[in-house]
Amino acid sequence: MSLDKNGIAKRIAQELRDGYYVNLGIGIPTLVANFIPEGMEVILQSENGLLGIGPFPSPDEMDPDLINAGKQTVTAIPGAAFFDSASSFGMIRGGHIDLTVLGAFEVSEKGDIASWKVPGKLIKGMGGAMDLVAAAKNIIVAMQHTDKEGNSKLLKECTLPLTGVNCVKRIVTDLAVIDVVEGGFKLIERAPGVTVEEIKKATAGKLIVEGEVPEMQV
Amino acid sequence: MNKVVKDAYEAIRGIESGMTVMFGGFGLCGIPENCLKALAESSITNLICISNNAGIDNFGLGVLLRKHQMNKMIASYVGENKEFERQFLTGELEVELIPQGTLAERIRAGGAGIPAFFVPAGYGTEVQGEKEVRIFNGKPHIMELGLTADFAIVKAKYGDTMGNLIYNKTANNFNQPIATAGRITIAEVEELVPYGELEPNHIHTPGVYVQRIFQGKEYEKRIEFATTRS
């Protein structure tokens, strides 16, 4: 059985470590915040100038001066800090953020990522995605293994305009956990009940399979 | 040294058609509502606007768009705005998209007298274009230029008559770097106090950067995506 969005988020949450500063992108990555293991201290950064994102507010707590990078109202945890956009990206560019999780349209064997623009469709802009992928120490992509038409999103080369090159380290999809290594995509784990063959079929780039591939524990 | 002007209409005096104007704010958070309204009521056109976002259809920079007062927009993300899409697709509006951190740093550098610098963001993408590439610490970087403007317009929570500013929470965002990058910087504030009343330790923008300041009024502070916990 392939994972749903919450399943993908739950698996990514296993990558978190105590004391990590983490930037979560819009979509599935945001859901990771719901699965931070009990007792683990993880501080979430929002690139519009907040370190220490808290839960969404109750209706009477909503503050127009307190939003996340997706422009949603949020709260700040005790111990949070606010700062300006240049400082925020200084924090990101300077390598002070341990992990970035973001979505993607395509990822290549070399760790290139395309996530911001589909030619012919409306162009909204890259926001902070190019800065994040160019600078974070560790980048995990959260996405479906294939698009709505069933085409693989794990390719030899990206076909869409790139967000960054040679930067993605790990990909967690509805079917598998995959690492970007020298020579291709290395299969690390399978989603529960999903076979290596099924993953191979859904992966257009080179899939490296070594020995028995364990099932994800989610 | 009194920098106080009466209102937004007096504050925007000197902004002429064709000028480059920077606006603070992220989405609708921390935008200079009073000055945007005054500009929308003016006959100024052909502005080059620099702002992280372009507002929404009927609020923020979206109002200047609807009135065709802008001919170029420099931003990092311009979704959530139908009129923007229309003018962009018909070619009425020129758009330059810049990675958000690069945009913030270009503005900060502009204000700090740094003409150019290197960043990794955008290397190997269409943002690289013809820009100079250099390798530092084994990693390719592209050269980006500092950015300044004829006018910079910011919004702060508190300000004093000397132009010192304190922002509130995530309404700081682009306001702090933008305040440094205008040939003339206008600050509108929710609470204007006599100098000496703000705690010097808490000032985000020292008054040297601000040429005009006024007490704003009737802030709507709209929320783009009101999200609550279930």
ipTM, two decimals = 0.96
- Does residue A174 register a pLDDT over 90? yes
Q: Across chain A, what does the average pLDDT equal?
A: 95
Q: Is B134 helix (H, G, I), strand (E, B) or coil?
A: strand
What pLDDT sits at residue B2? 83
A22-66 pLDDT per residue, tens: 999 988 999 999 999 999 999 999 999 999 999 999 999 999 999
What pLDDT sits at residue B43? 97
Q: What CA–CA distance (Å, rounded) separates A209 from A207?
A: 6
Q: What CA–CA distance (Å, rounded) separates B141 from A131?
A: 12
In B, minimum Cα distance to A81 occurs at: B169
What pLDDT sits at residue A87? 98
Tell me what percent of the residues of chain B surpass a pLDDT of 70. 100
Q: Which of B125, B127, B157 to mutate to test the interface with A (most CBs of A within 10 A)?
A: B125
Task: Sort A158 into a burial class: Cβ within 10 Å, 0-12 / 13-18 / 19+.
Answer: buried
Task: Tell me which chain A residues have a C-beta less than 8 angstroms from the C-beta of B172.
Answer: 49, 82-85
pLDDT band at B193 (very low <50, low <70, confident <90, very high): very high
Q: What is the mean pLDDT of residues B55-68?
A: 92
Element (H, E) at A23: strand A21-24
pTM of the model: 0.96
Say yes or no for a CB contact (<8 Å) between B177 and A86: yes
What pLDDT sits at residue B80? 79
Q: Which of B173, B205, B209 to mutate to test the interface with A (most CBs of A within 10 A)?
A: B173
Task: Tell me which chain B residues have a C-beta less than 8 angstroms from the C-beta of A125.
Answer: 75-79, 97
What pLDDT sits at residue B76? 97
Residue A140 CB neighbours (<10 A): 21
A137-165 pLDDT per residue, tens: 899 999 999 999 999 999 999 999 999 99
Q: Across chain B, what does the average pLDDT equal?
A: 96
Residue B72 — φ and ψ, nearest 5°?
-145, 140
In A, minimum Cα distance to B205 occurs at: A84
> In angstroms, what is the C-alpha Rg of chain B?
18
Q: What CA–CA distance (Å, rounded) separates A199 from A193?
A: 11
- Does residue B230 register a pLDDT over 80? no
Instruction: For residue B34, give both structure tokens.
Output: 């009073």
What pLDDT sits at residue B97? 95
B48: Cβ–Cβ under 8 A, 6 or more apart, which residues?
B18, B19, B20, B21, B70, B71, B72, B73, B74
What pLDDT sits at residue B85? 84
Q: What CA–CA distance (Å, rounded) separates B63 from B58?
A: 5
Is the separation of the CB atoms in A107 and A162 below 8 Å?
A: no
What pLDDT sits at residue B171? 98
What pLDDT sits at residue A131? 97
What pLDDT sits at residue A123? 78
What pLDDT sits at residue A213? 96
Q: Does the CA dihedral B229-B101-A181-A107 come out positive or negative? A: positive
Residue A197 CB neighbours (<10 A): 9
* C-alpha distance from residue B156 to each of B5, B29, B64, B167, B201 (Å): 15, 11, 21, 5, 16
Task: Tell me which chain A residues have a C-beta less than 8 angstroms from the C-beta of B108.
Answer: 86
Q: Does the CA dihedral A69-A94-A169-A13 come out positive or negative? A: negative
Say yes or no for a CB contact (<8 Å) between B223 and A163: no
Say yes or no for a CB contact (<8 Å) between A47 and B100: yes
What pLDDT sits at residue A78? 97
Largest Cα span, chain B: 54
pLDDT band at B83 (very low <50, low <70, confident <90, very high): confident
* C-alpha distance from residue B35 to each of B30, B49, B159, B194 (Å): 12, 13, 16, 22
In this structure, are strands B116-119 and B139-145 parallel, antiparallel, or unpaired?
A: antiparallel
**Which residues of A are designated catalytic?**
47
In this structure, are strands B149-160 and B94-97 parallel, antiparallel, or unpaired?
A: unpaired
In this structure, are strands A184-190 and A207-208 parallel, antiparallel, or unpaired?
A: parallel
